[in-house]
Structure 1
Amino acid sequence: MSALSTLPLLAAADTPDYGWLGNTIVAIMEAIGPVGVGLAVFAENIFPPIPSEVILPLAGFTAAGGAFSPHAALIWATVGSVVGALALYGLGAWLGRRRLYRIAAWMPLVDVSDVEKTEKWFARYGYWTVVVGRMVPVFRSLISIPAGIERMNMAKFTLFTALGSLLWNAIFVYGGYALGENFHVISDYADMFSNIVMVLILVFLAVWVVLRLRRNRARAADPAVDHEDPEAAAARVEAEIKALQHRK
């Protein structure tokens, strides 16, 4: 067997296994290029349990393999972030506060108080919540909804979302690219590292779901807990936010 004929086998052997999710993301990126990065990040914005902390380093890692440039990965990742945020902004504007609170009360793993805290944080700190929120897992998706409810200036919302997303994406994309360029150094540990990351994500999600279910069950069984009607909660929060904005 010639040396050239062994190259595909060696490449396959050196390719780490990222688990079904990671492998799927890498396959999409390799098939359609940096546009696949944008699609993956867009999906992460719409469905927060998909972790950008996995998607973005894989984008950089794939770029290091020559599928596309890291700069293209960063640009498309930021485009995906902004488009996903605008979709949730539109959802918040369309639903409005009262319908959103009714939906939150109906969903088993979401609590009205979660939405209430996010809204109040947005009302208190304004545009900066959009920048900082893009760097906080899960919250970076949620913050777009109250921005839509409050009809935040869309041009400013887009700008601040782009700035926060660009910084967050750059850290992970270029970090993954740097690792990819030194794959010969870390190849012995890549599979183990990717497996550890996937296990930690699954454990985090499982623990979060269990704790949330226990909390909801305890609240439902405790007569001392004030089970506020979502309509009343929405009206109360609306009044509190207006008072806060008036004091500003």
Structure 2
Amino acid sequence: MSHLTTLVVHHGLLSIFLLMALESCCIPIPSEVVMPLAGFLAFRHLLGFWPAVLVATLANVVGSLVAYAIGNYAGRAFVLRYGRYVGLTPRHLERAERWFQRFGEATVFFGRMVPAVRTFVSLPAGFARMSIARFILFSVLGSFVWNLALVYGGYQLNKHWQVLADHVKPFTYLGAAILVAALLWFWLRRRSDQRAE
């Protein structure tokens, strides 16, 4: 996480474009870290608010088109065979495919706002040979809403940071304990999933 922070702080919009394009191209980079940080920098006048949202949205579409093309031309077997090199497990792909089967093409819009699904949603759209025009439209809309919400959240968090810090201070130790427990649970679950596969 510290490397992502350093990258965004020192390279601004270029790093946002790179990171968000990679995220949409099935590389598990957390936009939940990158874009609130962009909002934080926007509040500090080190980055433009709207440029950050628009660059991230453009990057998401570019990365999504790459993933869509892989799904469309290389197919499911190729993705399953080589996906592990970028952290894509069969479970990730099955989850994205279930969403696509359940909600159809609207998944490309709504899936952009669901962690984990958003990273891989372009693959089943490619498998299904979804209309490229509708794919781009839904990708733009979903990515814009997601990025706007995250940048705005980071902006507002920084704006009200002192007030928040004063209220949260009594819960610092409790929050730290919960965070450690959550990280431990996530790590154990991931190891269990890896053994099952």
Query: With structure 2 as the length reference, what TM-score do the two structures score?
Result: 0.79
Aligned to 1:213, which of 186, 189, 194?
Answer: 194
Q: Which residue of 2 aligns with 1:237?
A: none
- How far does residue 144 in structure 1 lie from its aligned partner after superposition? 0.2
- Between 1:102-111 and 1:82-91, the stretch displaced more is 102-111
Aligned to 2:71, which of 68, 87, 92?
Answer: 92
Q: Which residue of 1 aligns with 2:35?
A: 56
Q: Which residue of 1 aligns with 2:123?
A: 145
In 2, the alpha carbon distance for the partners of 1:201 and 1:69 equals 34
Q: Which residue of 1 aligns with 2:133?
A: 155
Structure 2 counterpart SS, 1:26: helix
- How far does residue 43 in structure 1 lie from its aligned partner after superposition? 2.4
Query: With structure 1 as the length reference, what TM-score do the two structures score?
Result: 0.64
Across the two proteins, how many residue pairs are aligned to each other?
Answer: 190
Aligned to 2:2, which of 19, 33, 41?
Answer: 19
Larger radius of gyration: 1
In 2, the alpha carbon distance for the partners of 1:114 and 1:172 equals 23
Q: What do the CA deviations read for 1:8-55 (whole angstroms, capped 9, x no partner)?
A: xxxxxxxxxx734323332222xxxx3332222122223543211111
- How far does residue 83 in structure 1 lie from its aligned partner after superposition? 1.1
Structure 1 counterpart SS, 2:114: coil
Q: Counterpart of 1:86 in structure 2: which amino acid?
A: L
- How far does residue 107 in structure 1 lie from its aligned partner after superposition? 9.1
- How far does residue 88 in structure 1 lie from its aligned partner after superposition? 0.6
In 2, the alpha carbon distance for the partners of 1:77 and 1:105 equals 25
Is the contact between residue 20 and residue 31 of structure 2 (CA under 8 Å) also seen in structure 1? yes
> Which blocks of at least 5 consecutive residues in structure 2 are unaligned?
none
Q: What is the percent sequence identity of the aligned residues?
A: 37
Q: Counterpart of 1:70 in structure 2: which amino acid?
A: F
Equivalent runs, 1:1-248 vs 2, <5 Å: 19-29=2-12, 34-103=13-82, 110-111=89-90, 114-185=92-163, 203=184, 206-216=187-197
Distance 1:90 1:208, change over 3 A: farther
Structure 1 counterpart SS, 2:28: coil
More helix by share: 2
- How far does residue 98 in structure 1 lie from its aligned partner after superposition? 3.4
Q: What do the CA deviations read for 1:33-86 (whole angstroms, capped 9, x no partner)?
A: x33322221222235432111111000001111122211111111111111111
Distance 1:93 1:200, change over 3 A: farther
In 1, the alpha carbon distance for the partners of 2:98 and 2:86 equals 21
- How far does residue 103 in structure 1 lie from its aligned partner after superposition? 4.0
- How far does residue 117 in structure 1 lie from its aligned partner after superposition? 4.8
Q: Counterpart of 2:150 in structure 1: which amino acid?
A: F
Is the contact between residue 48 and residue 138 of structure 1 (CA under 8 Å) also seen in structure 2? no
Distance 1:101 1:38, change over 3 A: closer
Structure 1 counterpart SS, 2:113: coil
Structure 2 counterpart SS, 1:134: helix
Q: Counterpart of 1:146 in structure 2: which amino acid?
A: P
> Which blocks of at least 5 consecutive residues in structure 1 are unaligned?
1-17, 217-248
